Amino acid sequence: MNETSTIFALSSAPGRAGVAVIRVSGPAALTALEMMTGPAPKPRFAAYRTIKHPKTGEALDRAVVVWFAAPKSETGEDVVEFQVHGSRAVITGVLSSLGEIAGCRLAEPGEFARRAFENGKLDLAKIEGLADLIDAETEAQRRQALAQTSGSLSKLYDGWRSRLIEIAGLVEAAIDFSDEGDVSASAFNEARKRGEVLQKEISKHLDDGHRGEILREGFRVALLGAPNAGKSSLLNALARRDAAIVSAEAGTTRDVIEVHLDLAGLPVIVSDTAGIREASSDIEREGIRRSLAAAREADLVLWLAESPESALPPSLSRELSLEIRSKQDLAPDSTFDGLSISAKTGAGLDQLIAEIAKRASEAVGSGNEPALTRARHRQALENAVNDIGEFLNGPPEPIELRAEDVRRAAQALGRITGRVDVEDVLDQIFSRFCIGK
């Protein structure tokens, strides 16, 4: 990416729409605005202008334009927005015209967000929250992503890093006053006392049952049972569409089929799987292997049984499983201690949905405290806890090694928000964005 170039892109959804937003960011943004609309309006004031081709003067559209002067913009650079009519012809015309202005080029995926990061407008944790906000499908996901975008995680992690820097200062003081035993020992002991408190706080944050990651990625529910237990019928009933093929022939489902649901504002991913039995072919054996793999990765397993004899396999956790009597319409008078349902008549489905939503809600927690949302953050925090542990438990001498432990812990926390060198993760983070973001 060339930092001196000016980038532009369609920032609203592609296709036909009432209004489309085209953004321009960089040193030539104001020049592009003046070449295509005449004198620029006051910064941060909308103006209604005729947009013209910069070379031929041909009118392309009549639309609203806004200019954000650096550094008071999303990217920290001069930014221009063209709010044009959302026809393909208008969008193509404006983008093509911008491409003919010297120094302007089409943006790469995530380049607007990356410039915001490089210019100090957003840190990496906020940017990852922004990506999650764009992808949010449920209310709970939106709330979590918005909190992260607003800086809840950044504030927490930067606070911990600041405390580590204070601890590092105490250790350095112990080194500087090593010839004065009492002063050196007092500073080092205070550093370890603070480190112990901080280690407990970070460890408690890590011991969260992965609630933030579950909310971000979805609460996983696996449907398991013998062939023809009604798994595919239940999946279709929950999805309210024909997501899976339903047949009286055993072994119809060979691969894992997933549907995404919104239950009480929570994201739930339900997986239909192959029936569990003694396989008669290599293909069916592979399907059963995938079924058991889906069960191991699930947050909740629904075991469907047509009769009490079809019991939950001992290899599955009873704590994470719910046994269900399926096809209740075929044997309405049979006794069963658990929940009985019928995908055909709808009997028991409301209770089942309520139970799934309850389990999902318990898994993601109240959401009152900032939650870990990514494996990258978890790994960095685990590294920080281990480094603090080395500082607390390692021999005091040589003290320089204990100072290095604290430095590594602070660096691990700094990588989460981008306070230290994170070149190895930048491309991975920004490539997830669309071109206009």
State the pLDDT confidence band at 371, using cuts at 50, 70 and 90: confident
Instruction: Write the CA distances from 237 to 100, 233, 332, 352, integer angstroms.
Output: 54, 6, 19, 11
Q: Which residue has the tokens 């309006």?
A: 41
Domain at 219-364: CATH code: 3.40.50.300
Does this model's pTM top 0.75? My answer is yes
Statement: residue 111 has pLDDT above 50: yes
Statement: residue 244 has pLDDT above 90: no
Instruction: Write the CA distances from 253 to 33, 94, 222, 244, 377, integer angstroms.
Output: 57, 50, 14, 8, 37
Output the pLDDT for position 383.
96
**Domain ranges in the chain?**
6-123, 126-208+372-418, 219-364
Read out DSSP for 28-49? THHHHHHHHHSSPPPTT--EEE
Could you tell me which residues come within 8 angstroms of residue 408 by beta carbon, excluding any fewer than 6 positions away? 383, 387
State the pLDDT confidence band at 430, using cuts at 50, 70 and 90: low
Which range is least confidently modeled, 13-22, 64-73, 280-289? 280-289
State the pLDDT confidence band at 200, using cuts at 50, 70 and 90: very high
- The superfamily in CATH containing domain 6-123 is Probable tRNA modification gtpase trme; domain 1 (3.30.1360.120)
Crossing angle of helices 124-135 and 423-430, in 10° steps, is 20
Q: How many CB atoms are closer than 10 A to CB 116?
A: 22
Strand arrangement, sheet containing 339-340: 257-263, 266-272, 219-225, 300-305, 321-325, 339-340
State the pLDDT confidence band at 179, using cuts at 50, 70 and 90: low
Q: What are the tens digits of pLDDT across the range 313-344?
A: 777 777 788 888 887 777 665 666 678 888 88
Instruction: Write the CA distances from 358 to 258, 266, 351, integer angstroms.
Output: 20, 10, 10
Tokens describing residue 358:
């309850």
Tokens describing residue 84:
């044009």
Q: Using the 8-state DSSP alphabet, how is residue 229 labeled?
A: S
Output the pLDDT for position 18.
93
66, 80 Cβ separation under 8 angstroms: yes
Output the pLDDT for position 367.
64
Q: How many CB atoms are closer than 10 A to CB 331?
A: 13
Output the pLDDT for position 101.
96
Strand partners, 339: 324
Which range is least confidently modeled, 102-111, 176-185, 348-357? 176-185
Round to whole Å and give the CA distance between 187 and 167: 9
Output the pLDDT for position 274.
75
Output the pLDDT for position 336.
63
Round to whole Å and give the CA distance between 198 and 202: 6
Give SS3 for 295.
helix
Statement: residue 288 has pLDDT above 90: no
Output the pLDDT for position 42.
95
Q: What are the tens digits of pLDDT across the range 248-270?
A: 555 555 567 888 999 888 999 99
Output the pLDDT for position 306.
73
Q: What are the tens digits of pLDDT across the range 49-98?
A: 999 999 999 999 999 999 999 999 999 999 999 999 999 999 999 999 99
Round to whole Å and give the CA distance between 310 and 277: 11
pLDDT, the chain, mean: 86
Output the pLDDT for position 176.
76
Could you tell me which residues come within 8 angstroms of residue 279 by beta carbon, excluding any fewer than 6 positions away? 285, 287, 288
Compute φ and ψ for 9, nearest 5 degrees: -170, 160
Output the pLDDT for position 1.
45
Q: Which ranges constitute the DSSP H helices of 84-239?
A: 88-99, 111-118, 124-135, 139-149, 152-176, 181-206, 211-217, 231-239
- Taking residues 266-285, report their average pLDDT: 76
Query: In 3D, which of 257, 212, 244, 164 has the Cα closest to residue 368?
Result: 212
Output the pLDDT for position 308.
62
Output the pLDDT for position 435.
67
Tokens describing residue 397:
């001498």
- Choose the CATH number for 126-208+372-418 among 3.30.420.40, 1.10.1740.10, 1.20.120.430, 1.10.10.10: 1.20.120.430
Tokens describing residue 91:
């969008």
218, 314 Cβ separation under 8 angstroms: no
CA 140 to chain centre: 12
Q: What are the tens digits of pLDDT across the range 385-418?
A: 999 999 999 998 888 999 999 999 999 999 999 8
Q: Using the 8-state DSSP alphabet, how is residue 163 labeled?
A: H
